[in-house]
Amino acid sequence: MTETELQKEWEALEERCKNCRKCALCETRTNVVFGSGDRTADIMFIGEAPGEKEDLSGTPFVGAAGKLLDKFLYQVDIDRERVFIANMLKCRPPKNRDPKEDEQDLCIEYLREQVRLIRPKIIVCLGRISAKRLIKEDFRITQEHGIFFEKNGYTICAVYHPAALLRDPRRKEDMLIDMQNIKKRLDELE
Protein backbone atom coordinates (compact mmCIF):
# COMPACT_ATOMS: atom_id res chain seq x y z
CA MET A 1 0.00 0.00 0.00
CA THR A 2 1.38 3.39 -0.94
CA GLU A 3 1.66 6.22 1.55
CA THR A 4 -1.13 8.07 -0.28
CA GLU A 5 -3.43 5.03 -0.14
CA LEU A 6 -2.67 4.59 3.55
CA GLN A 7 -3.45 8.25 4.23
CA LYS A 8 -6.78 7.90 2.39
CA GLU A 9 -7.67 4.82 4.46
CA TRP A 10 -6.89 6.73 7.69
CA GLU A 11 -8.99 9.68 6.58
CA ALA A 12 -11.92 7.44 5.61
CA LEU A 13 -11.74 5.56 8.91
CA GLU A 14 -11.63 8.76 10.94
CA GLU A 15 -14.58 10.15 8.98
CA ARG A 16 -16.60 6.96 9.64
CA CYS A 17 -15.84 7.29 13.37
CA LYS A 18 -16.81 10.96 13.47
CA ASN A 19 -20.12 10.21 11.76
CA CYS A 20 -20.88 7.04 13.71
CA ARG A 21 -24.40 6.73 15.10
CA LYS A 22 -24.37 3.01 15.91
CA CYS A 23 -25.13 3.42 19.62
CA ALA A 24 -26.60 5.96 22.04
CA LEU A 25 -23.17 7.28 23.05
CA CYS A 26 -23.21 9.47 19.95
CA GLU A 27 -26.03 11.47 21.57
CA THR A 28 -23.98 12.48 24.63
CA ARG A 29 -20.48 12.89 23.20
CA THR A 30 -18.81 16.24 22.72
CA ASN A 31 -16.10 14.82 20.46
CA VAL A 32 -15.21 11.48 18.95
CA VAL A 33 -11.86 10.46 20.44
CA PHE A 34 -10.34 8.71 17.45
CA GLY A 35 -6.82 8.19 18.81
CA SER A 36 -3.56 10.04 18.48
CA GLY A 37 0.12 9.56 17.86
CA ASP A 38 2.41 7.97 15.33
CA ARG A 39 0.45 6.05 12.71
CA THR A 40 3.54 3.94 12.01
CA ALA A 41 4.20 3.24 15.71
CA ASP A 42 5.88 0.06 16.90
CA ILE A 43 3.78 0.19 20.06
CA MET A 44 0.08 0.88 20.53
CA PHE A 45 -1.63 1.57 23.85
CA ILE A 46 -5.34 0.79 24.07
CA GLY A 47 -7.63 1.94 26.86
CA GLU A 48 -11.31 1.30 27.38
CA ALA A 49 -13.09 4.59 26.59
CA PRO A 50 -12.58 8.34 26.73
CA GLY A 51 -13.12 10.21 29.97
CA GLU A 52 -14.46 13.72 30.44
CA LYS A 53 -11.23 15.57 29.54
CA GLU A 54 -10.75 13.35 26.51
CA ASP A 55 -14.34 13.93 25.35
CA LEU A 56 -13.82 17.69 25.63
CA SER A 57 -10.47 17.70 23.80
CA GLY A 58 -10.97 14.86 21.31
CA THR A 59 -7.59 13.39 22.35
CA PRO A 60 -7.05 10.20 24.40
CA PHE A 61 -5.34 10.18 27.79
CA VAL A 62 -5.02 13.92 28.43
CA GLY A 63 -6.54 14.04 31.93
CA ALA A 64 -4.95 12.98 35.21
CA ALA A 65 -4.62 9.35 34.06
CA GLY A 66 -2.98 10.50 30.84
CA LYS A 67 -0.49 12.64 32.71
CA LEU A 68 0.43 9.63 34.85
CA LEU A 69 0.82 7.49 31.72
CA ASP A 70 3.12 10.19 30.31
CA LYS A 71 5.30 9.94 33.45
CA PHE A 72 5.67 6.18 33.03
CA LEU A 73 6.50 6.55 29.35
CA TYR A 74 9.15 9.13 30.25
CA GLN A 75 10.61 6.92 33.00
CA VAL A 76 11.22 4.07 30.57
CA ASP A 77 12.32 6.29 27.67
CA ILE A 78 9.33 5.76 25.39
CA ASP A 79 8.46 8.95 23.51
CA ARG A 80 4.68 9.57 23.51
CA GLU A 81 5.05 11.10 20.05
CA ARG A 82 6.34 7.72 18.78
CA VAL A 83 3.40 5.62 20.05
CA PHE A 84 -0.26 5.47 19.06
CA ILE A 85 -2.86 5.71 21.82
CA ALA A 86 -6.48 4.76 21.31
CA ASN A 87 -9.48 3.39 23.14
CA MET A 88 -11.83 0.53 22.37
CA LEU A 89 -14.73 2.99 22.42
CA LYS A 90 -14.42 6.27 20.57
CA CYS A 91 -17.14 8.03 22.60
CA ARG A 92 -17.36 8.68 26.33
CA PRO A 93 -19.82 6.60 28.35
CA PRO A 94 -21.89 8.80 30.68
CA LYS A 95 -20.24 9.49 34.04
CA ASN A 96 -17.20 7.44 32.90
CA ARG A 97 -19.02 4.17 33.52
CA ASP A 98 -17.51 0.96 32.14
CA PRO A 99 -18.28 0.36 28.46
CA LYS A 100 -21.20 -2.01 27.93
CA GLU A 101 -20.58 -5.15 25.92
CA ASP A 102 -22.91 -4.09 23.10
CA GLU A 103 -21.10 -0.74 22.86
CA GLN A 104 -17.80 -2.58 22.60
CA ASP A 105 -19.25 -4.86 19.92
CA LEU A 106 -20.43 -1.90 17.86
CA CYS A 107 -17.19 0.07 18.16
CA ILE A 108 -14.49 -2.64 18.07
CA GLU A 109 -14.26 -2.66 14.28
CA TYR A 110 -12.83 0.88 14.30
CA LEU A 111 -10.07 -0.27 16.64
CA ARG A 112 -9.38 -3.37 14.54
CA GLU A 113 -8.94 -1.13 11.50
CA GLN A 114 -6.53 1.11 13.42
CA VAL A 115 -4.47 -1.93 14.45
CA ARG A 116 -4.49 -3.23 10.87
CA LEU A 117 -3.28 0.10 9.49
CA ILE A 118 -0.59 0.64 12.15
CA ARG A 119 0.64 -2.98 12.41
CA PRO A 120 2.34 -2.38 15.79
CA LYS A 121 4.96 -4.75 17.11
CA ILE A 122 3.43 -4.56 20.61
CA ILE A 123 -0.09 -3.81 21.80
CA VAL A 124 -0.47 -2.74 25.43
CA CYS A 125 -3.93 -2.91 26.97
CA LEU A 126 -4.42 -0.21 29.58
CA GLY A 127 -6.55 -1.89 32.23
CA ARG A 128 -8.68 -4.95 32.71
CA ILE A 129 -11.55 -4.00 30.40
CA SER A 130 -9.46 -3.74 27.24
CA ALA A 131 -7.45 -6.81 28.33
CA LYS A 132 -10.63 -8.86 28.75
CA ARG A 133 -11.76 -7.86 25.28
CA LEU A 134 -8.45 -8.05 23.45
CA ILE A 135 -6.49 -10.80 25.26
CA LYS A 136 -9.00 -13.18 26.85
CA GLU A 137 -12.38 -12.98 28.54
CA ASP A 138 -11.18 -14.25 31.92
CA PHE A 139 -8.14 -11.97 32.08
CA ARG A 140 -7.21 -11.07 35.69
CA ILE A 141 -5.25 -7.83 35.77
CA THR A 142 -3.90 -8.34 39.29
CA GLN A 143 -2.38 -11.69 38.33
CA GLU A 144 -1.62 -11.35 34.63
CA HIS A 145 -0.44 -7.76 34.20
CA GLY A 146 2.85 -7.55 32.35
CA ILE A 147 2.61 -11.05 30.85
CA PHE A 148 3.11 -11.16 27.08
CA PHE A 149 0.70 -13.11 24.90
CA GLU A 150 0.85 -13.85 21.20
CA LYS A 151 -2.52 -13.37 19.56
CA ASN A 152 -3.43 -13.06 15.89
CA GLY A 153 0.19 -12.34 14.99
CA TYR A 154 0.60 -9.60 17.62
CA THR A 155 2.56 -9.44 20.85
CA ILE A 156 0.10 -8.14 23.42
CA CYS A 157 0.12 -7.50 27.16
CA ALA A 158 -1.83 -5.55 29.73
CA VAL A 159 -0.84 -3.15 32.48
CA TYR A 160 -2.85 -1.42 35.15
CA HIS A 161 -4.97 1.43 33.88
CA PRO A 162 -3.39 4.72 35.02
CA ALA A 163 -6.74 5.78 36.55
CA ALA A 164 -6.61 2.68 38.76
CA LEU A 165 -3.13 3.72 39.90
CA LEU A 166 -4.47 7.12 40.89
CA ARG A 167 -6.95 5.32 43.16
CA ASP A 168 -4.43 2.74 44.40
CA PRO A 169 -0.85 4.12 44.22
CA ARG A 170 0.55 0.93 45.78
CA ARG A 171 0.43 -0.65 42.31
CA LYS A 172 2.72 1.97 40.73
CA GLU A 173 5.82 -0.16 41.36
CA ASP A 174 4.20 -3.04 39.42
CA MET A 175 3.38 -0.62 36.61
CA LEU A 176 6.95 0.63 36.42
CA ILE A 177 8.32 -2.92 36.23
CA ASP A 178 5.77 -3.80 33.52
CA MET A 179 6.67 -0.69 31.53
CA GLN A 180 10.39 -1.47 31.83
CA ASN A 181 9.70 -4.97 30.48
CA ILE A 182 7.62 -3.54 27.62
CA LYS A 183 10.48 -1.22 26.69
CA LYS A 184 12.92 -4.13 26.84
CA ARG A 185 10.69 -6.26 24.59
CA LEU A 186 10.26 -3.33 22.19
CA ASP A 187 14.03 -2.87 21.97
CA GLU A 188 14.44 -6.60 21.26
CA LEU A 189 11.93 -6.42 18.41
CA GLU A 190 13.61 -3.48 16.67
Contact 170, 156 (CB under 8 A): no
Q: What is the pLDDT of residue 121?
A: 97
pLDDT lower than 70: segments of the chain: none
The one-letter amino acid code at 127 reads: G
Q: What is the pLDDT of residue 153?
A: 94
Q: What is the pLDDT of residue 186?
A: 95
Instruction: Choose among 91, 85, 106: nearest CA to 37.
Output: 85
E strands, 12-140, are 36-37, 43-47, 84-87, 122-126
Q: What is the pLDDT of residue 174?
A: 98
Does the pTM of the predicted model rise above 0.75?
yes
Q: What is the pLDDT of residue 1?
A: 78
Rounded to a whole number, what is the distance in angstroms from the first to the last CA of the chain? 22
Task: Output the CA angle 100-53-42, nearest 5 degrees.
Answer: 75
Separation of alpha carbons 149 and 170, rounded Å: 25
Domains detected in the chain: 3-189 (3.40.470.10)
Q: What is the pLDDT of residue 189?
A: 86
